Amino acid sequence: MKKSNPDDPGDYVVNPITKLKRNVTIDQRRTTLMLEQEIWTILDELAREEGLTLDELCNKIHHFHDGSESISSVLRIIAVLACRINPANTSPHDQNFHQTQMEFPSRLHQALSRLNPLSS
């Protein structure tokens, strides 16, 4: 029996509401965030759609929000907002995802604009 690798979220099945700790670097500072597995999955999808690493995605979101809420809360809200936006002609599980044409503004950009409507 193969041992699961805790650093590989795809290596084992976790209840989507189970909180998992992951390390990210924001503003050149390493930090540990504890979010629900489903939120991490959505953030990973958004990063892949944008062609960013998870660290780059977290930095982008961190620099966009005004700092009045914790970064964990903002990441959760962005994940929820992004899920309410239907990507054009694709699903996150589509194997040919990177071959499809990207809709602009992307789900991330639409979610960010909903987070702070005055900045659009």
Q: What average pLDDT score do residues 97-115 get?
A: 73
Kindly report whether the global pTM for this prediction surpasses the value 0.85.
no
Residue 58 CA to residue 50 CA, distance in Å, equals: 12
Q: Which residue has the tokens 């998870």?
A: 54
Query: How many independent structural domains does the chain possess?
Result: 1
Is residue 16 one of the residues assigned to a domain?
no
Q: Which residue has the tokens 């509401």?
A: 17
Is residue 8 one of the residues assigned to a domain?
no
Instruction: Please provide the average confidence, as pLDDT, over all residues in the chain.
Output: 81
Domain coverage including residue 69: 22-119
- Does residue 116 register a pLDDT over 90? no
Is residue 65 one of the residues assigned to a domain?
yes
Whether 16 and 38 have beta carbons less than 8 Å apart is answered as yes
- pLDDT tens readout for residues 34-64: 999 999 999 999 999 999 999 999 999 999 8
Is residue 87 one of the residues assigned to a domain?
yes
Report the CATH number that the domain containing residue 112 is assigned in CATH.
1.10.3990
Is residue 96 one of the residues assigned to a domain?
yes
More confident residue, 5 or 56: 56
Looking at residue 114, its pLDDT comes to: 87
Is residue 1 one of the residues assigned to a domain?
no
- Range scoring the smallest mean pLDDT among 2-6, 47-51, 52-56, 66-70: 2-6
Is residue 17 one of the residues assigned to a domain?
no
